[in-house]
Amino acid sequence: MQVVYPTTPAQHFHALRRQMTNDPRKPLIVMTPKSLLRHPQATSSIDELTNGRFEPVLIDAAKDAASVKRIVLTSGKVYYDLHTAREKTNVNVPLIRLEQFYPFPQAFLAEALKQYPNATEIVWTQDEPRNMGAWPFLHERLAALSGNRTLRYIGRPISASPATGSHHRHEEQQAALVKAAITPAGTA
CA 137 vs CA 12, 34, 37, 103, 113: distances in Å = 22, 23, 26, 12, 19
Looking at domain 55-182, does it have CATH number 3.40.50.720? Answer: no
- pLDDT band per the 50, 70, 90 thresholds, residue 163: confident
Statement: residue 176 has pLDDT above 80:
yes
Statement: residue 187 has pLDDT above 70:
no
Q: How much of the chain is helix, strand and coil, in % rounded to 5? A: 40, 20, 40
Statement: residue 188 has pLDDT above 70:
no
Helix (H, G, I), strand (E, B), or coil: what is residue 176?
helix
CA 4 vs CA 110, 133, 186: distances in Å = 18, 13, 34
Which pTM value belongs to this model? 0.92
The strand ranges marked E within the chain are 2-4, 28-30, 57-60, 70-74, 95-98, 100-102, 121-129, 150-156
49 or 62, which is more confident?
49
So what's the pLDDT on residue 38?
86
So what's the pLDDT on residue 185?
64
Statement: residue 55 has pLDDT above 90:
yes
So what's the pLDDT on residue 32?
85
The model's pLDDT over 79-116, given as tens digits with 9 standing for 90+, comes to 999 999 999 999 999 999 999 999 999 999 999 999 99
Nearest to residue 5, comparing CAs of 46, 51, 42?
42
The model's pLDDT over 60-78, given as tens digits with 9 standing for 90+, comes to 988 899 999 999 999 999 9
For the chain, the farthest-separated pair of C-alpha atoms sits apart, in whole angstroms, at: 51
Q: Which residue intervals of 62-105 are DSSP H helices?
A: 78-89
Secondary element (H or E) of residue 19: helix 9-21
* Domain residue limits, the chain: 55-182
Average pLDDT, the chain: 92
In degrees and rounded to multiples of 5, residue 17 shows phi and psi of -65, -45
So what's the pLDDT on residue 170?
87
